[in-house]
Amino acid sequence: MGIKPTLRKQQEVVLACALREGGTCNSADAYAALVDLRGIPAKSDDELEESEAESILLSTGNVLQSLVELGLMVKSGPGKYDLTEEGSRVAENLAEEGF
């Protein structure tokens, strides 16, 4: 078993999202999870300030890419990311810790 990587809260949220969705997280779900993490009241994208929406969108791409680089997720299609075996272990450990 590998060493547990040190993850940022955003990465943990996306891994938890993928685990809840059966091991797959699409970019729209990751975006929604990051909006929830920031504690932004539920609004449509039209109601989010443009800079706020752009910031979350950029963050979504960066978080997903970082999880791919860490070997915790693989890009399996356009806007679709799957947990790797190691990613599943890390996500399950996070769930056991109450995340």
Would you place residue 16 in the very low, low, confident or very high pLDDT band (cuts 50, 70, 90)? very high
In this prediction the pTM is: 0.83
**Residue 19, exposed/middle/buried by CB under 10 A (0-12, 13-18, 19+)?**
buried
Average per-residue pLDDT in the chain?
A: 87
Domain boundaries, the chain: 9-96
Class of domain 9-96: mainly alpha
C-alpha dist (Å) from residue 22 to 12, 15, 40: 16, 11, 26
* Mean of pLDDT values over 5-24: 93
pLDDT for the residue 74 = 98
Condensed to tens digits (0 to 9), the pLDDT of residues 31-53 reads 999 988 887 665 555 566 778 87
Say if residue 22's pLDDT is above 90: yes
